[in-house]
């Protein structure tokens, strides 16, 4: 995977969360901010935090269910497709939430205040509020198995070559490159006060299309994996992956003083 993509995605998430960053102190306030502006930012940040946590919980729950489905030799195609649909909806909801908050921020801050804040976020270089997902995230079944996993499964040299080809497909490389390109374009838009809303919405849709295609590619890879391995080999591979990558658990922030009911 191109290492430039995750870096750009981190910056995209930071720019998408400018309201949150200022209101929580993760990023310093721009100069000359008024008490009224500060209160508006806090209100928007609170609403964003609440919505983000709900979406994030659903996203993690669905990802865990998909991981469990992939751990079974008898793949339940209907359940997998339904779960992918839930993940996809949550991913789009997060992207749209960040976009809507970009619109709200420009209704609160002046152009000069916004420009100062955007420069601070860029200088921040990767530190951002916890709990925001990158547009593309890979789970343990999305990464090519290493030598230890292949040896644990007892695969032949030919089987190993076929499996590794599954994880290095031209289609995946193309999707990652498109995701990188669209993310870079959205970063550029989010960095400017005069936000082209139509173009931003179009880019969000394109990023989401890449996300969904990557999810479906993962499903197709699971189906192909079962045509290469025997059931016993698959279960040995599954057990080794589960040992190396324990099942994730949803994270919840402890209540803070001043949180509303």
Domain boundaries, the chain: 4-130+144-244
Phi/psi for 87 (5° steps) reads -60, -45
Low-confidence ranges of the chain (pLDDT < 50): 1-6, 9, 126-135, 251, 258, 260-261
Q: For position 1, what pLDDT does the model report?
A: 42
Say how far apart CA 166 and CA 187 lie, in whole Å. 31
Map 46-90 to HEC letters. Answer: HHHHHHHHHHHHHHHHHHHHHHHHHCCCCCCHHHHHHHHHHHHHH
Q: For position 140, what pLDDT does the model report?
A: 82
CA distance to 36, 89, 127, per residue, from 94 (Å): 27, 9, 18
Please, what is the end-to-end C-alpha distance for the chain in angstroms? 43
Q: For position 13, what pLDDT does the model report?
A: 53
Q: For position 108, what pLDDT does the model report?
A: 92
Q: For position 14, what pLDDT does the model report?
A: 52
Q: For position 71, what pLDDT does the model report?
A: 94
Q: For position 29, what pLDDT does the model report?
A: 60
Q: For position 130, what pLDDT does the model report?
A: 37
- The percent of the chain in helix, strand and coil, each rounded to the nearest 5, is 70, 0, 30
Q: For position 145, what pLDDT does the model report?
A: 92
Q: For position 207, what pLDDT does the model report?
A: 95
CB atoms within 10 A of CB 42: 15
CA distance to 52, 155, 258, per residue, from 4 (Å): 26, 33, 39
Residue-wise over 120-154: b if at least 16 C-beta within 10 A, else e? bbeebeeebbebbbbbbeeebbbeebeeebbebbe
Reduced to 3 states (helix: H, G, I; strand: E, B; else coil), residue 170 is helix
Q: Which residues contact 80 (CB under 8 A, 6 or more apart)?
A: 66, 69, 70, 219, 222
């Amino acid at each position: 995977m191109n290492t430039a993509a995750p870096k750009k995605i981190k910056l995209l998430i930071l720019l998408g969360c400018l309201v949150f960053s200022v209101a929580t102190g993760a990023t310093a306030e721009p100069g000359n901010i008024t008490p009224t502006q500060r209160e508006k930012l806090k209100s928007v940040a609170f609403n964003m935090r609440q919505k983000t946590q709900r979406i994030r919980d659903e996203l993690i729950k669905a990802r865990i269910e998909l991981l469990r489905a992939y751990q079974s030799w008898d793949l339940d195609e209907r359940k997998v497709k339904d779960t992918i649909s839930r993940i996809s909806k949550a991913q789009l909801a997060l992207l749209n939430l960040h976009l809507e908050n970009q619109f709200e921020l420009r209704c609160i801050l002046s152009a000069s205040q916004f420009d100062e804040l955007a420069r601070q976020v860029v200088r921040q270089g990767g530190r951002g509020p916890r709990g925001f997902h990158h547009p593309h995230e890979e789970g343990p079944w999305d990464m090519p198995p290493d030598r230890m996993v292949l040896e644990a499964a007892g695969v032949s040299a030919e089987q190993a070559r076929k499996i590794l080809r599954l994880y290095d497909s031209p289609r995946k490389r193309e999707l990652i490159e498109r995701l990188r390109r669209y993310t870079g374009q959205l970063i550029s838009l989010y960095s400017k006060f005069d936000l082209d809303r139509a173009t931003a919405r179009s880019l969000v849709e394109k990023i989401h299309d890449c996300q969904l295609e990557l999810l479906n590619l993962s499903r197709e890879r699971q189906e192909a994996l079962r045509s290469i391995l025997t059931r016993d080999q698959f279960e040995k591979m599954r057990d080794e992956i589960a040992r190396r990558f324990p099942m994730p658990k949803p994270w919840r922030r402890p209540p803070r003083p001043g949180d509303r009911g």
